[in-house]
Amino acid sequence: MSAADTASPPRRRPTSPRSGRGGGLGRLGAARELGVLLALAALVAVTAASNSRFLSAQSIQDVLLSAAILVVLAVGQTLVIVTRNIDLSVGSVLGLAAFGTGELLSSAPGTPIPLALLFGLGLGALCGVVNGALIAAARVPALVITLGTLYVFRGVDHSWAAGEQINAADMPRGFLDFGTATLLGVPVLALLAVAVLAVVATYLRSYRGGRELYAIGSEPTAARLSGIPVGRRVFGAFVVSGALAGLAGVLHAARFGTVDATVGTGIELQVVAAAVVGGVAIFGGSGSAYGAALGALLLTTIGSSLAVLRVDPFWQQAVVGGLILAAIGLDRLLAARVAGRPGRRRVLHGA
């Protein structure tokens, strides 16, 4: 037996979502993102044609301010969804961080804004640790765990608030100004969301840990056999998702100034919708943070456009639901096309 026969097989490297085995899917994903961008442009054009004030500086700032919070949440959710998991607790984490930040600033008005941001990040990361630890220890689907922690964190929020509401008058003026401040006409909150987006997108695309998240979502068993620390990577994704939800809670408190125990209720569905509509495959292994951000911007713009066009709010929910169904159906179609190509193996679960 030769040395070549006894040598261990080469270790498979996790593939980038836009190269190697997943290159075809990456190109199709880029087409999805372009489609969302075109849909956004068409929506803006139609709305502006109906009401020119929709493109006023104030209107654009309002849309960007509203989108900033959803973008931060959707980017964090992307890290979880590409690993074939989901985090339904982000709305409750946002609410808990928003009220905690309001409580901190009302009791200590001199707290610097960076410290308030770190407080929200830390509180959210702690919630993410709880989610990640429970999923790793119990080996129960993330859908079940985070559905439970959604109610647990909301219960903690209600217990902490005890029916109290923190108003803008209770918080320092500097913090409230931060929520509406602009730099060269662009809201500071939107710039902060772009910074978060750039960091997460760079990590997913250019770093080994990010590429391994895609490998886990594509084939968890194969990823584990190839030596990828699946449990640690998934745990980290939930911690970051929680931290960004906590950051979004601080941004919410700064943006609206009034917080109580109901803040963020139901927003988790919008977050998942933004990611899925933006091309993040609900079956894992595909998608990008940029696509999720575009999805968040599209959903926010839909809400503003329908209000300008005086369309019944019910239709906003119907349109979003239709977009989710269309996105999931397209994911299945793209996965089937990629899997059906000669020499290609499955790149998405269920394909």
The SS3 call for residue 56 is coil
**pLDDT tens-digit profile of 194-239?**
999 999 999 999 899 899 999 998 888 888 888 889 889 999 999 9
Q: How far apart are CA 327 and CA 279, in angstroms?
A: 7
Delineate the domains of the chain, giving CATH numbers in brackets.
23-335 (1.10.3470)
Q: Is the pLDDT of residue 9 over 80?
A: no
How far is C-alpha 351 from the chain's CA centre? 24
**pLDDT tens-digit profile of 30-78?**
667 787 888 888 888 888 888 878 888 888 888 898 899 999 999 999 9
Asked if residue 47 lies in contact with residue 222, where contact means CB atoms within 8 angstroms, the answer is: no
Mean pLDDT, range 167-187, rounded to an integer: 88
Q: How far apart are CA 238 and CA 77, in angstroms?
A: 8
pLDDT at residue 27, as a whole number: 60
Mean pLDDT, range 140-164, rounded to an integer: 91
DSSP category for residue 142: H
Q: How far apart are CA 214 and CA 197, in angstroms?
A: 17
Instruction: Pinpoint the alpha helices (H) of the chain.
Output: 3-6, 23-50, 57-81, 90-107, 113-138, 142-161, 173-180, 188-206, 208-218, 220-225, 230-256, 267-277, 289-308, 313-339
Tokens of 222: 């194969």
Instruction: Pinpoint the alpha helices (H) of 7-141.
Output: 23-50, 57-81, 90-107, 113-138
Tokens of 344: 């290609």
**pLDDT tens-digit profile of 259-305?**
988 998 989 988 998 998 888 888 888 888 999 999 999 888 888 88
Q: Is the pLDDT of residue 15 over 50?
A: no
Tell me which of 176 and 31 has the higher pLDDT: 176
pTM equals: 0.84
